[in-house]
Structure 1
Amino acid sequence: MADTLLDEVAGLLRETADRVVLPSFRHLGAGDVTEKAPGELVTVADRKAEDVIAAGLRQLRPGSVVVGEEAVADDPELLRHLAGAGDVWLVDPIDGTANFAAGRRPFALMISLHTDGEPVAAWVFDPLAGTLATAQLGEGTYLDGRPVRLPSTAPPVGELRGAAMTKFLPPAARRRAESGGARVGQLLPGQHCAGREYLDLLTGRQQFVLFWRTLPWDHGPGTLLVRAAGGVARRFDGTDYHPAGTDHGLLVAVNDQVWTEVHQALLVNE
């Protein structure tokens, strides 16, 4: 993959944020926010941003398929392309829509490119912070143009800092995670924006993040960013995460040791 594609997709995200997303932030009218499913918000900016991004990606890779969050809401059959042949783009036009609709941060724009069913490149952009992370399979991860390599060692478990979206866990797992939270240094409630959680792993602000819901557009880009930087992203049973999978539960950590310690603390802890 040419580096120019990384730059071109990054430019598309920046342009979409400037033209579509940021002008709508804190300027949405009552009719601009609706529910596409119970508790699942969508705004006019989500839909317009996805249209702009999809058109741009198809120009960059003619013949490629775009699987966008909002398009899937209308046609769930689009998800079959994630395990298919050829080039497939996975798009989350505004990750953290509830934050965006409420006029609060963070939110992010996210894309990953899949070739023959495997993630090969990823982009996550937080437009308010101006933070852009990119990754290419086998070529590493970059944060604002600088290479990122996650630490290979871990502090004591009692000094680890990370987030867990415990409210989405099944009751028994939620009790274990909340009880086990006392074993780690700091267990944060999450920011309602998966993209920002992944960026915070890359910046060193936290060493792990635990999710229950694992929709592909929320985690396809971020898990590749973390893995390309040396981290791990696995299901609760220890199997590697893949965006085409349909299971629940995901624990992402800066390295294998942190993953194992947090898994023991939050998900086992008997």
Structure 2
Amino acid sequence: MIEDFLAGRLSDVEEAVRKAAAAEIMPRFRQLAEDEVIEKNGPHDLVTVADRRAEEHLTASLTALLPGSLVVGEEAVHADPSVYEAIQGDGPVWIVDPVDGTRQFVHGEPGFCTLVALARGGEILASWTYAPALDELAVAVRGGGARLNGESIRSGSPAPGAVLDIATSHPDYTSDDQKRALLGLRVPGVHTRACGSAGLEYLDVARGQLDAVVFSWEYAWDHAAGLLLVEEAGGAHLTVAGEPFRIKGGNALPFTAARDAETAARVRGLLLGA
């Protein structure tokens, strides 16, 4: 059933994502009232009425498109952590971050996106990364490549000897051990900066505008869409244990996604102090 869906209904998902953003996100962009923004776990972890309404919109539309599927959304999991357990099952699961980059959204900056991935049994099958304020939509299908606004994209490889540009986790989201690992990136030939929207950083890796990302948390809604996008564009991802990142969890952190396998291995080595 899911194979038939992937063969013929992907454009319907794109339409659902666009409609959710048009109905619930963009009318509130730069229009949020003070009481429509709430801190969840600190000043860098915000939620707005747009996040909640967009997730509700997507939950209804995506489960209607694929009967029997479940949705694991960031806001639903915040309300009921047991929702996250659906990722461990064998049925089709939509993994949704309604507004990735909420801080940017709240500040009226265009660098935010909606992330949707379809997975089954821990394998990401397809993904959608939609930045409505930038008019960019990236789609990836396992074994079918990656596209941005309908055009095929490839991550390529960094130029020999070029400085590596890497976006990393914000220090607020790193443990002491992870901070020590990130210090391994402070070497000649590497330039690091704090990441913005995770989804858009993955997109920049997939289209060769950023060499790698390094993240220290494993919530699937932040990573599922982007990891498949990077893979299908020719990139690779590794945890510090030398294994690909698993959306089911239990990963050794931090992990990296990079433009090619060689760069991923190089970044892993730096994180290990090798």
- TM-score normalized by structure 2? 0.90
Match of residue 5 from structure 1? 9
**Compared CA separation, residues 221 and 260, structure 1 to 2 (3 A):** same
Give, in angstroms, the shift of residue 115 of structure 1: 2.0
Cα distance in 2 for partners of 1:166, 1:19 equals 31
Q: Which runs of 5+ in 1 are unaligned?
A: none
Match of residue 55 from structure 1? 60
Cα distance in 2 for partners of 1:87, 1:177 equals 35
- TM-score normalized by structure 1? 0.92
2:240 pairs with one of 236, 243, 260: 236
1:197 pairs with one of 176, 180, 201: 201
Match of residue 77 from structure 1? 82
Q: Which runs of 5+ in 2 are unaligned?
A: none
Counterpart secondary structure, 2:195: coil
Cα distance in 2 for partners of 1:129, 1:4 equals 27
Give, in angstroms, the shift of residue 32 of structure 1: 0.5
Give, in angstroms, the shift of residue 79 of structure 1: 1.1
Cα distance in 1 for partners of 2:117, 2:265 equals 27
1:101 pairs with one of 106, 109, 123: 106
Match of residue 161 from structure 1? 165
C-alpha offsets along residues 218-240 of structure 1, whole Å, 9 cap, x if unaligned?
A: 00111111112221122121111
Give, in angstroms, the shift of residue 241 of structure 1: 0.7
Give, in angstroms, the shift of residue 176 of structure 1: 5.0
Cα distance in 2 for partners of 1:246, 1:88 equals 19
Match of residue 268 from structure 1? 272
Cα distance in 2 for partners of 1:177, 1:10 equals 36
AA in 2 matched with 1:217: W
Cα distance in 2 for partners of 1:254, 1:117 equals 23
C-alpha contact 1:231 1:255 (8 A) present in aligned 2: yes
C-alpha contact 1:220 1:242 (8 A) present in aligned 2: no
Aligned length, in residue pairs: 267
Give, in angstroms, the shift of residue 90 of structure 1: 0.5
Give, in angstroms, the shift of residue 161 of structure 1: 1.6
Match of residue 146 from structure 1? 151
Counterpart secondary structure, 2:95: strand
Counterpart secondary structure, 1:37: coil
Give, in angstroms, the shift of residue 130 of structure 1: 0.9
Farther-moved stretch of structure 1 (193-202 vs 232-241) = 232-241
Cα distance in 2 for partners of 1:79, 1:13 equals 21
C-alpha contact 1:157 1:183 (8 A) present in aligned 2: no
C-alpha contact 2:87 2:122 (8 A) present in aligned 1: yes
Cα distance in 2 for partners of 1:119, 1:110 equals 13
Cα distance in 2 for partners of 1:117, 1:251 equals 19
Give, in angstroms, the shift of residue 150 of structure 1: 2.5
C-alpha contact 1:141 1:148 (8 A) present in aligned 2: yes
Cα distance in 2 for partners of 1:9, 1:124 equals 11
Q: Percent identity?
A: 34
AA in 1 matched with 2:50: A
Aligned alpha-carbon RMSD (Å): 1.9
Cα distance in 2 for partners of 1:103, 1:36 equals 19
Cα distance in 2 for partners of 1:158, 1:221 equals 28
Cα distance in 1 for partners of 2:105, 2:170 equals 22
Give, in angstroms, the shift of residue 166 of structure 1: 5.2
